[in-house]
Amino acid sequence: MHELSIATAIVEQAERLARADGADRVSAVTVRVGELAGVVPDALHFAFEVARDGTALAGARLEVEAVPALAWCGGCAEEFAVGMPPFFWCPHCDRPSQELRSGRELEITAVQA
């Protein structure tokens, strides 16, 4: 389960950010997770609970914002959802897309003390 290594990295980064702001505890961390990031949100929540023990995030909650996978079609200038499994064929003009606009995100967007 690679979510444990991701959760550990989130905890470590959130601790650094909190300490840089002069806080010794963190109550919540918000992360954006793209649909194509290869992360299972439920597994990430579970792994976060394990990774936070004994740290400044003990008792902190993890808030996950899901980011849909969206592609751009240069042929008809339309943005469309690619779904899971991803399908990069434009439903508007029936052409393949070569530009993924969102869906691979995995980033911390907020740390609350």
**pTM value?**
0.86
Is the pLDDT at 1 greater than 70, yes or no? no
Task: List residues bridging with 102 in a β-sheet.
Answer: 70
**What DSSP string runs through 21-80?**
TT-S---EEEEEEETTS---HHHHHHHHHHHHTTSTTTT-EEEEEEE--EEEETTTTEEE
Q: What is the pLDDT of residues 36-47, one digit of tens each?
A: 999 999 999 999
Q: What is the pLDDT of residues 26-66, one digit of tens each?
A: 999 999 999 999 999 999 999 999 999 999 999 999 999 99
CA separation for the pair 40, 44 (Å, rounded):
6
CA separation for the pair 52, 9 (Å, rounded):
10
Report whether 78 contacts 97 (CB < 8 A): no
Residue 85: exposure state from Cβ atoms within 10 A (0-12, 13-18, ≥19): exposed
The edge-to-edge listing of strands for the beta sheet with 61-67 is: 61-67, 28-34, 106-112
Q: What is the pLDDT of residues 5-25, one digit of tens each?
A: 999 999 999 999 999 999 999
